[in-house]
Amino acid sequence: MKSLEPDICVIGAGSAGLSIAAGASQMGAQTVLIEKAEMGGDCLNYGCVPSKSLLVAGRAAQAWRHTAAFGIDTPEPSVDFARVHAHVRDVIDGIAPLDSEERFTGLGVEVIRDAALFEDERTVVANGARIRAKRFVVATGSRASVPPIEGLEQISYLTNETVFSLTERPEHLIVIGGGPIGSELGQAFRHLGARVSLIEMGSILQNDDPELVEVVRRRLTRDGVELHEQAKVLRVGAAGNGVAATVERDGQEERIEGSHLLLAAGRQPTVEGLGLEAAGVVYDRRGIKTDARLRTTNKRVYAAGDVASGPQFTHMAGHHAGIVIKNALFRLPAKVENRAVPWVTYTEPELAHVGMTEAMARKAGERINILRWDFHENDRARAERQTDGFCKAVVTPKGKILGASIVGPQAGELIQPWVLAIANGLKVSAMAQVIAPYPTLGEVSKRAAGSFYTPKLFSERTKKIVRLLLRLP
């Protein structure tokens, strides 16, 4: 068996693992990268990239349906789903070379295409090689959760790993799970002409502010997505050439029949089959236990990305990569920063958030002011006829920004100034004093921030001061 003794061995070639391997190698560390499946991991092959590519195709079709508001009459769009699939594949294929084995080999990384198994606390074996590295990083990501639903093992179903392989549009897609993945894909398939039934045990997008979620809920309903909230799936089974789900809601059972079933009921970290017990690495159903520096219970082993018991976002995987590099290579005590982590649900309209929600702030006992500005008061949004939604900021009475949420067009882009403000401890005055170009959607953030000063600015006290000053020669 071949023996390798690199400076760092990375297990998993997803977002976190690739960033760590590339950075380490380019900084002079001998690096081994082990991947048993697709280079690029979930994000490139089954997650962010294909899902957003499908979403934009759906938005193009939906925009075609609503041109009459601009004085342009068009027929119902004809969706060639095989070409939609080709579009998704083309986007993936365009990005894939950046994540490829050839690129990383060119960077000086030794890439091993096999499953990794810890033999002991400092040894991993893979594809006939025994690797004894100074530092290991487990970056194996996560996969779709499969809930314990009666009859599920008897039928075919889709997850995010298989849904993008469809070359024919589902006639009627049943989606189990109303989180970001289920809501995004449900709306995308509806925009592309499929009938969609979305089933959620609680309320859709439960981690977001209910006030903003309501805007998304109204749009989903208006688009024709059939929402079944507060509905428990009792069982599933075959129905002719398709599938059926029996749900219980308000004590009543209902049978929903469709052509395809998509599971979007959350994700679970990939920790099985790694021999983590032999390595002395503690984990549970939420992932690998780490400290703020991403060190596991084995001082030689770090964990990064979805597997590291934290927010499961690609941008957090990138943040983790930087933390691991600083700790493992430079011995700097860098720590994960969770205070200003944004998240975005790419429905139409988009829903973006950073920091504390109103409910979180009240639960924490904070004294808060709530600032709002609606898109229907934004001239650019009116010109583009995208006036659904608003910006909502949570601040203290002294103007410290605790959190912000935006639901509306391009919310994922518009949230970024709030991320910067929270990360750098800026007060709401910084946002209010920005000179925003006109007309832009970004003005909603400036206007929301400026509303913090409205009560004092137009108060009777201010009027008295102005009148007094005007009397002076």
User: Which residues participate in the annotated binding site for FAD?
Assistant: 52, 140-142, 306
Q: List, in sequence order, the alpha helices (H) in 201-261.
A: 210-223
Of 162, 163, 160, 186, the closest CA to residue 175 belongs to: 186
Q: Which tokens go with 401? A: 């920004």
Q: What is the torsional sign of CA 227, 231, 236, 239?
A: negative
The Cα–Cα gap between 211 and 372 comes to: 12
The Cα–Cα gap between 457 and 450 comes to: 10
Strand (E) positions, 252-400?
Answer: 252-258, 260-263, 267-269, 283-284, 287-288, 301-303, 343-345, 350-355, 369-374, 390-395
The Cα–Cα gap between 329 and 307 comes to: 21
Which helix (H) or strand (E) covers residue 135, if one does? strand 135-138
The Cα–Cα gap between 436 and 255 comes to: 52
Q: Which tokens go with 331? A: 């011995």
Residue 40 makes CB contacts below 8 A (sequence gap 6+) with 13, 14, 18, 95, 96, 99
Cβ-based burial of 473 (10 A; exposed 0-12, middle 13-18, buried ≥19): exposed
Question: Any idea which residue has 């093992």 for tokens?
Answer: 153
| DSSP string of 155-218, one letter each residue | S--B-TTTGGG--S--SEEEEE--SHHHHHHHHHHHHTT-EEEEE-SS-TTTTS-HHHHHHHHH
b/e per residue, 110-141, with b = 16+ CB within 10 A?
A: bbbeebbbbeeebbbbbeebebbbebbbbbbb
Residues making up the binding site: 52, 140-142, 177-184, 200, 266, 306
Q: What is the torsional sign of CA 378, 383, 385, 386?
A: negative
Residues making up the binding site for NAD(+): 177-184, 200, 266
Question: For residue 271, which amino acid is it?
Answer: V
